[in-house]
Each structure stands twice: as structure tokens, then as C-alpha cells.
Amino acid sequence: MPNPSNTPSVPAARPDPDALVAQLKADQQQAARGKLRIYFGSNAGVGKTYAMLAAAQRERQAGRQVLVGLVETHGRAETVQQLHGLELLPRRLLPHQGRQREAFDLDAALARHPQVLLLDELAHSNAPGSRHPKRWQDVQELLDAGIDVWTTLNVQHLESLNDVVGGIVGIQVHETVPDHIFDDASEVIVVDLPPEELLKRLKAGKIYPLEQAERASHHFFRLGNLLALRELALRRTADRVDEDMRDYRRERSIGDVWPTRERLLVAVGGQAGDDALVRQVARLARRLEADWMVVYVDAPARQHRSAQSQQAVLKTLALAARLGADTATIPGAQVAAALVDFARERNASHLVLARVPPTAMRWWPWAP
């Protein structure tokens, strides 16, 4: 399998002065904005709020001004204990259906302007009468004001995974957070707990009262659900880290491949052996525990192919997606050059090509 890392480095293009000025302005605005830290986990009870409060205690002891905007302890003794010594922002009272309802006081937080503000449960829906319907919108306003915000989030509340989680646990989660909030966070800290340990905490009444815990163990907290949600949380975090690395390489015009992990890029072109190639690479990716992607280059020379050949490409890409690959159709004047550029952009460790009959060589100018 050819390795794009063996391809000679291409000199970086000359930077565009206008782009550099725009980037400088964007960097200055970003520097003035507050930093968002998300404590991220697979489920309630893994210890996100506890970890956030423990870190807040360390910040306070180091001399930073930390303010607890709102934290939900859910009656958990260990979490309540971590609040000791931290300053709590008084909650705002909002009238609702003839009663007073406690809510986070956004204006008071902005007026206090602490260095670090803790605001639990990012996906929470605000009480009627609040300035924003969603807590994540409060967080955006705080960040714009230059306040660092720490918060917590479970994987099932990410918008892009809402349907996936619903299919796993059989429950539709209605409180969601846009993925760009998660992806744009300055820091995501994964708080992980093996499902078996989480079930022990549940049965001991450390997550919910015992009666509620018993019901939860037969529904949302089934072992299979916990395993699947844990995998989703870890994979989503890995995707975010991978995107951060791609951004770093793109901003610095880094063309060389960094071998951070095995990542296979498979090229298909509507040939008879494409499906077999995809299945073979799927097995290889599983053995290597590697990411893999299947791509088709839509080059000008290919745009006059038969409808049957074009349909074959679509079927192959659909097969790859079912087997777990990411798929893409990419433009390119020359197939080989487009593939190498795409491999570098995605930091692929190996480029996988099929050997094709001589009559098909025109589609694969790099083939031997």
C-alpha cells in the first residue's frame, strides 16, 4: 500500500496578506473572549460535576476568583461536600404559573464578572421569563463578556447524536446542545467511569434515590445502553481532537503526514473489484483499530461515464458507510493529485488502491 508520507514535501503556498490580517483580527477577538471548558461524560453519575468542583477548589486555592453560578448536586453527598468554601451566586426568582421558580441569574453573573464561572448542565432549558431559552445561550453571552465558563454535558444531549442515542436507549432526549458549542470549546475533559462501576453507584443510591435507581436500572441504565453511550462519548471526543489537529495543520500549512494513528484512505472508481476492496479494507481497519475513509474523485475525465458505472460508485460508497467508513466524493482535475492532497489534509497514514485491468488504467494514472 503506498504511503503518502513517503511523498516529497510540497513547499507551502505564499500566505495571502489579506487572509493574514483577517486571521490576526480573529485571533485578537478570540483572545478577548472567555474560554469554555466542558466536563463531558456518557451518563449521569459518572462524576462530571464532582470533577468540575474539585478543579474549581484547586483554582480557588491558586488565587483565581471562582463563582458558582449554578450547580445541581441532586442530593449527592460527595458533590455537596465539594461546594464547601466556594462562593455561590444567589439564584433569581421568576414567577411561573402563580409560583416562584429559581433560575440562574445571568445579569448578576455578568455584573460580578468572575474569572471563572461554574454553570452546570449545559443542555438545560431555562425557566420561562429568562433572557434565553437555553442555558448554552447564557454561556455564549458570558463568554462574549470575557468570562471563563466551566460546565457539564452528557453525550446524549449533543444534537448530532440525538437520533443515535434514541435508537439505542429507546428514549428521545429533547434537551440538546448544538455540536458547534462542543467543537468550539477551548477544552473538553472526559469524565469516564466503567459501566460496571456506574451500576454499583446506582445500586448504592449514589446517583438517584433507591426507588428511582431501581427503575433506572431496567431502562436507561441497562448495561448494553451504558456500554454504547460510553463508546459514543469516547468516539465523539476523539473526533473533536482529530479536528483540532487538522485545524492546526491547516492554519500552519503543514503538508507532511503526522503518524498519530493508523488512518486508511481507500480510493474507488466504479470498477468491478471495488466492493471486494472495501470489504478487505474494512477487515484490515478492524484488525488495526484504524479509522478509514472511502473516496471517489470526480475528475473531468470521469464525468462522461455510463449511468451504470456511476451507480456502481454510489453502491460502493453506501457499502463502505454500512461497514463503518466515512465516505466522500471529492473534485479534482487529476485523480492522483486529488487523492494525495486529500490524504494529506486528512492525515491519512496509508492510501489503498486497487489494481485494475489495463483498459481501465486511464482512470488511475498512478497505477503501476
**pLDDT tens-digit map of 241-287:** 656 555 555 555 545 544 446 788 898 988 888 888 898 888 888 87
Q: Do domains 33-248 and 259-363 have the same CATH topology?
A: yes
First to last CA, the chain: 12
What sign results for the dihedral spanned by CA atoms 17, 22, 28, 30?
A: negative
Q: Where are the domains of the chain?
A: 33-248, 259-363
- pLDDT (tens digit per residue) in 85-127: 999 999 999 887 778 889 999 999 999 999 999 999 999 999 9
What radius of gyration do the chain's Cα atoms show? Answer: 25
Of residues 359, 353, 361, 258, the one with CA closest to residue 296: 353
Q: Which of the following CATH numbers is that of domain 33-248: 3.90.550.10, 3.40.50.300, 3.90.1150.10, 2.90.10.10?
A: 3.40.50.300
Fold for the domain defined by 259-363: Rossmann fold (3.40.50)
pTM metric for this prediction: 0.63
Rounded distance between C-alpha atoms, residue 217 and residue 314, angstroms: 43
- pLDDT (tens digit per residue) in 40-82: 999 999 999 999 999 999 999 999 999 999 999 888 888 999 9
Rounded distance between C-alpha atoms, residue 94 and residue 164, angstroms: 35
